[in-house]
Structure 1
Amino acid sequence: MNPLLQLYRNAFGGLSRQAWMMSLVMLINRSGAMVIPFLGVYLTTELGYTLKETGAILSIYGLGSVCGSFLGGWLTDKIGHFKVQFVSLTLGGGLYFILLNLRQFEYMAAGVFILSLVNDMLRPANASSIASYAKPENVTRAFSLNRMAINLGFSIGPAVGGLLAALSYKWLFIADGATCIAAGLFFFLYFRAQQGHKPVIPENKADVPAVMSPYRDMWFILFVILCSLFATIFFQLFSTLPLYYKQVHQLSEGSIGLLMALNGLIVFLLEMIVVYLLGEKASKAMLVAGGLLMLGLSFVLLNLFGQVSILYVSMLLLSISEILAMPFMSTITVERSGLSNRGAYMGLYTISYAAAHVVSPYLGTSIIAAYGFSTLWWACGILTIVTALGFYFVIHQMEKQRFAKQAILADTSKLVSTT
């Protein structure tokens, strides 16, 4: 056991206290993440919405997420990540109590849009906060620590949510709202004293990118489009997979919650170790592309085997794909940005996921309604291959460009110092 314990100690070592406290905030917040994983099931079984109406509501949630990500990124550069995170957590928590009382489709659509907009203002602000509190050499591990906390919370939330849903769906909304507000209060009490903290600036000025708008950075825009394709496939986890578990395998809400919690548990246990072992040894292009191929395989397996046990194998592969891809996508975004435009870059990066929230549920449910689940899983498998190839090429070009710029700036710095 000693080598294993030492491995974990090395993987978690060297991270700042602020990074740990930020992760604790996200753990509190995500431990109450019960509504969204069960929203599709809630709308169809509790409120009697049709499959297309449910897909439309989930897509509206994604539309709000797009607007919230853009607004959050813009506000982060204007007023700072502290204020944006505090408002998002506390106001977003209160909105769950309002959503609990909505029944009519139009009111539900409006409520879901506003909730999503406020909640997803958190994403670019949180990412900018993590990057500012982390040492340059620990950025990927700082993001992984934050994701580890999110996934531990996500393993708790759906598991508890499945049990609460068996009693009454109203407890999902109450628990989600209460934990969001609790996370906001804890965040305020700790991080208000950290406002004088100065972000870590690399000693080597060659590591600081030139100021550029992400909307004029063509390579980064291509990267964002590929991230959105990845997220469109991955987010079947939250939209159509629960419906598949319920309608095809007749799993109960409790069993669905436990199965989805397995994703968070696997990521919690393995991500920091994988990032520590592979982060500096394998290229980001290879890791991200490999994650995409693993994701496609997780869905294709559902068509090849019909046993309930294959659901757990599929979830394992999906979780490994998340570990290989997501942390390094965040790092690539940080490396592409500078201190003055990090909010904008993180905002555009999170918009890629938010846009997938629009497309993914509606596209998934429409394919299911027209052709069935098996067609959807084959389509996911094919799309991951195309996206993996795109990622490999684009990330390789971005890394080449970054290293070339660093070499030029380093040579210029040496020339200035000698003169």
Structure 2
Amino acid sequence: MHALRRWWHDTAGGLPGTFWYLWAGLLINRAGAFAMLFLSLYLTDARGATEALAGVVVGAYGAGGAVGVLFGGVLADRWGRRSTLLAAHLATAALMVALAFSRPLPLIAAFAALVGVAHSMPGPAFVAAIVDVVPADRRSRAFNLEFWALNLGMAVASLLAGLVAEASFTALFLVDAGATLTAAAVIGWKVPETLRRSAPPPPARQPTAVRPRRPGLLTVLSDRIFLVFVGLTFVLAVLTLQTSTIMPLAMRADGLGPSAYGVVVALGGALIVLGQLFVPRLIDRRRKAVVLAASTALLAVGFGVLAVADHLAVYLGAAVVWTIGSMLAAPPNAQINADLAPPDLRARYQSVFYLTFPAAAFVAPMLGGVSLQYLGDRHWLIVGGLGVLAAVGHLLAGPSRERHVDALRRAAEREPADRIPTG
């Protein structure tokens, strides 16, 4: 019993009530956000669209997501985290209802793009609010729980989506809207505004390393230390997306069908749901750069092994390796992103960070497909080599990143500490 209490304390102890309401809203939202998983099937089966046209509409959703990430980051810093979350959730629910009853394909495409905007807006606000309310020494466990909730919610969504879609595509959108409204209700009822508004210190008191040079997003885009970290995260995202973009093609070439691919994906999801809660005790006392280097190296090994994979057992073994890498990477990746952001630009930094994922979703299939076609199994050696380079990059960038974080922390300590409600 003592060991169980100790594990719970190390995994989830000491987190404020506001975090848990944010976590609950995130879990509910992700568990119910399954309509867009079936958008292409809905378009081809129910609306009579060609596969090419369905791809264009789904692409419009993705393009809207890139816009929504930046828009959500700016709003969360200017308007507030709570207001941005509520506006995005309410807009998403309304657009889902509109999609449920829309029939012309151009109208569906327009609504899909707007859903992409609304779906992506909460991301920076969620993370910025978590950073606002969770003390720095407990953020690693908070981000670990956030990653776990995202994957648990996605697993639930994948299960429910198939069942609801069998009954009605219209119900798919309406249930999604209902889950989104439920998440909005939790946030509106229990989550206070966490954005601290305080006047910046005089320019002479700001350390050169942390003094904003340009307003708004331009400050983020001129932060070289942060952009190096974003670039390394982009590589991590490209590696991770191999599982959903290129690996199915490689498995088909090896004579393995969709059911085999489903087993590999399900194994990864099960490992995350069962094992993610044990990650904090493994990494809390280790340098984040070292953890990220090790996790990226595991991804490199896992995908590199696919160069010699021709049986399902090899794919399953490789999936265990790269999934462990993903599990180890999630908490320090999110915490470094939070630590590098000045408090007054926190959500904007999150929005630029979040852009790595739609960018990787574009690059991974485009270049990966060409690479697999012309290089065959050697594609996986390139992927593995890219992961090794990123692991080395984390080790090289770690010291300057840590010094920059220390400078930001010292500057923040000199500012008046306004009380933020934590519930």
Q: TM-score of the superposition, structure 1-length normalised?
A: 0.80
Range that drifts further, 79-88 or 161-170: 161-170
Corresponding position of 2:392:
389
SS in 2 for 1:126: helix
CA distance in 2, matches of 1:54, 1:375: 32
In the superposition, relative to structure 1, how do residues 235 and 102 fare at CA in structure 2: closer, same or farther (>3 Å)?
Answer: farther
- 8 Å CA contact 1:290, 1:388 repeated in 2: yes
Number of residue pairs the alignment of both structures matches: 399
- 8 Å CA contact 2:342, 2:408 repeated in 1: no
CA distance in 2, matches of 1:301, 1:270: 23
**What are structure 2's unaligned runs of at least 5 residues?**
198-204, 213-218, 415-423
CA distance in 2, matches of 1:372, 1:110: 38
In the superposition, relative to structure 1, how do residues 289 and 314 fare at CA in structure 2: closer, same or farther (>3 Å)?
Answer: same
The structural deviation recorded for 1:165 is 4.8
Corresponding position of 1:334:
338
In the superposition, relative to structure 1, how do residues 169 and 73 fare at CA in structure 2: closer, same or farther (>3 Å)?
Answer: same
Match of 2:231 among 198, 216, 225: 225
Corresponding position of 1:91:
91
CA distance in 1, matches of 2:375, 2:32: 32
Query: Structure 1 vs Structure 2: percent identity of aligned residues?
Result: 24
- 8 Å CA contact 2:299, 2:387 repeated in 1: yes
Corresponding position of 1:202:
none
In the superposition, relative to structure 1, how do residues 100 and 227 fare at CA in structure 2: closer, same or farther (>3 Å)?
Answer: farther
In the superposition, relative to structure 1, how do residues 96 and 404 fare at CA in structure 2: closer, same or farther (>3 Å)?
Answer: closer
Letter in 2 for 1:217: D
The structural deviation recorded for 1:206 is 11
Corresponding position of 1:287:
291
In the superposition, relative to structure 1, how do residues 358 and 224 fare at CA in structure 2: closer, same or farther (>3 Å)?
Answer: same
Corresponding position of 2:352:
348
Alignment of 1:59-70 (within 5 A): 59-70=59-70
- 8 Å CA contact 1:84, 1:125 repeated in 2: yes
The structural deviation recorded for 1:56 is 5.7
Letter in 2 for 1:78: R
Range that drifts further, 144-153 or 388-397: 388-397
The structural deviation recorded for 1:403 is 4.1
Letter in 1 for 2:361: H
The structural deviation recorded for 1:227 is 1.4
Alignment of 1:291-330 (within 5 A): 291-330=295-334
Corresponding position of 1:184:
184
Corresponding position of 2:279:
274
In the superposition, relative to structure 1, how do residues 169 and 378 fare at CA in structure 2: closer, same or farther (>3 Å)?
Answer: farther
- 1:258-299 per-residue CA deviation (whole Å, 9 max, x = no partner) reads 75454344223333422233122x221121122222223333
CA distance in 2, matches of 1:96, 1:249: 36
- 8 Å CA contact 1:55, 1:365 repeated in 2: no
In the superposition, relative to structure 1, how do residues 135 and 26 fare at CA in structure 2: closer, same or farther (>3 Å)?
Answer: same
Corresponding position of 2:216:
none
Corresponding position of 1:125:
125
SS in 2 for 1:340: helix
- 1:19-44 per-residue CA deviation (whole Å, 9 max, x = no partner) reads 11111111111112334555567678
CA distance in 1, matches of 2:365, 2:256: 20
- 8 Å CA contact 1:34, 1:158 repeated in 2: yes
Letter in 1 for 2:85: Q
- 8 Å CA contact 1:158, 1:260 repeated in 2: no
CA distance in 1, matches of 2:413, 2:73: 30
- 1:181-220 per-residue CA deviation (whole Å, 9 max, x = no partner) reads 22122221222xx238969xxxxx999x845322221111
Match of 1:195 among 193, 196, 200: 193
Letter in 2 for 1:120: S
In the superposition, relative to structure 1, how do residues 408 and 100 fare at CA in structure 2: closer, same or farther (>3 Å)?
Answer: closer
SS in 2 for 1:195: coil
1:141 aligns with 2:141: yes
CA distance in 1, matches of 2:413, 2:343: 19
CA distance in 2, matches of 1:65, 1:190: 27
Letter in 2 for 1:225: G
- 8 Å CA contact 1:66, 1:354 repeated in 2: yes
Letter in 1 for 2:154: F
Letter in 2 for 1:298: G
CA distance in 1, matches of 2:103, 2:249: 21
Corresponding position of 2:401:
398
CA distance in 2, matches of 1:377, 1:350: 26
The structural deviation recorded for 1:336 is 1.4
Letter in 1 for 2:268: N
- 8 Å CA contact 1:77, 1:343 repeated in 2: yes
SS in 1 for 2:180: helix
Letter in 1 for 2:153: G
In the superposition, relative to structure 1, how do residues 24 and 406 fare at CA in structure 2: closer, same or farther (>3 Å)?
Answer: closer
Letter in 2 for 1:390: G
In the superposition, relative to structure 1, how do residues 218 and 307 fare at CA in structure 2: closer, same or farther (>3 Å)?
Answer: same
The structural deviation recorded for 1:409 is 10
In the superposition, relative to structure 1, how do residues 55 and 218 fare at CA in structure 2: closer, same or farther (>3 Å)?
Answer: farther
Corresponding position of 2:152:
152
- 8 Å CA contact 2:220, 2:348 repeated in 1: yes
- 1:100-155 per-residue CA deviation (whole Å, 9 max, x = no partner) reads 56788766654433222111111111111000110121112112222221121122
Letter in 1 for 2:299: L
CA distance in 2, matches of 1:43, 1:3: 52
SS in 2 for 1:354: helix
